[in-house]
Structure 1
Amino acid sequence: MSEAIYAKPDMTKKVKFDRGEMEERIVDIYVSPDTLRDHETSTKTEHTSPTNGPGDQHTEPDSKEKRPFLAVAVCLGLLCVLLLAGIIGGYVHCQLQTRYNNLTKERDQLQTRYNNLTKERDQLQMEKDDLMEKFSNPSWNKFKSCWYFVSTENKTWNESRQNCVERRADLVIINSIEEQRFLFGLNKRVWIGLTDSETEGSWKWVDGTPLKTR
């Protein structure tokens, strides 16, 4: 049997009885060895236990569980940003492409108009040069709105026609009695644009129309 361990009595402790009388007593506190051993074991356990409280033990697992969800949220956010940027970029590209196509059409139309105006200008310049030459050259004779060139060189019908083509003209086609009288009034022998080279005896003008006789 374990021996009793006597603790030092507390001489100053007062005990209050039901009758209201105060009396100082010496109280002997008996502590058994088993109780003391359990107390020492409990003290060691308290000193060797981790400093983290109960709340800290659950903090680390919770943070580990939240990490995958946080990564997924970040990825979804980035995908949304990229999708929005792609939509905006596609819209801007579509608008720019439409604007570019419209400007290209306008440019082509302006280029076509410029080319036509250039041709008209060149044509007018050529007509001006022709008129200047006709007015300054006595070989040209004007009748109404037409000009007639009378060459001083002796050439065949084919040579004369080739010379007219080089001058951007052709042998004369007589369309009226007045025009015929004008040509006779030149008092020169000239070739006219009438031929039966395709079929002998079938006379045609150089523009392909047949000769009409009254």
Structure 2
Amino acid sequence: MAEDIYATPDMTQKVMSDRGEMEERMVDIYVSADTLRGHDPCSEAKDPIPENTAGDLHSGAGGPERSLSRAAAVCLGLLCALLLAGVAALGVIYLIKVTVERQQLQTKYDILTRERDQLNTSNINLTRERDQLNTSYINLTRERDQLNTSYINLTRERDDLKRKLCRCCHTECQDGWSRFGCSCYYVSAEKKNWSDSRQDCRDRGADLVIINSPEEQEFLNNLTKTVWIGLNDTVTERNFIWVDGTPLTTPTYWYGSQPDNYLHQPGSVDEDCAEIYYSPSQVPPPKTWNDNRCDSNNFWVCERRI
């Protein structure tokens, strides 16, 4: 009895016993699972689980489910690889596009910078030229003012000399003419339109009167007649010129709002010829000039320089 106690135990029998108990337990587990799924345990009992199958369950091989899991994992890995490849390709394309656009923007920036520098240079040059022109304009203005002053002084001296010459000159005017200052004047006794009146003066070796001074204006007002004078704006409206081609300057002796180019009736001709209008009660001297229709009939005054 004591020998049996101290004898070396048979481990092979122990392992076989444990394996048998494990197989019985695995059978019980499958039977319980089939019962829960609604399978008939009796039909399953007819087909005992093979020993190799039990071994696979014990080792955890997994069967078809494990194969499907591996396939799914492989597909997922391939999809991830394709996704990464697509993302990498898009990144490369985007980087190339950004690089090209950056180069284009840099080129445009360089061009605009050059144009800006050219414009700045042009602006500097134009500013210098403007300053030079302003300086020249100021100098020319000063010279013009000096020339105007000289002209006024010379005109006064000329007029003084003319007056002195006229006093010394004893030339008489021909019959029918009156002398005033350094001119002889003919006053018509009949009426004609402006053009015919001027032609009569030319036939007499003179022209319609040109008024140069307040004294001459007073002389003509004392004729107590409405007469044509040598002034018109037939070429350009409101641009009156004398018969010798000189423009009208001061002094002027227009009455009131004249010249008004008044139309006597719709469609009538303009008032382009000047007259001295005699009507002391309506048009008091010395401002007696009026614009009238050139085809009207008036007396006229011819002037001939001595």
TM-score of the superposed pair, with normalisation by structure 1: 0.37
TM-score, length-normalised on structure 2? 0.28
Instruction: Say which structure, 1 or 2, has more relative contact order (CA 8 Å, 6+ apart).
Output: 2
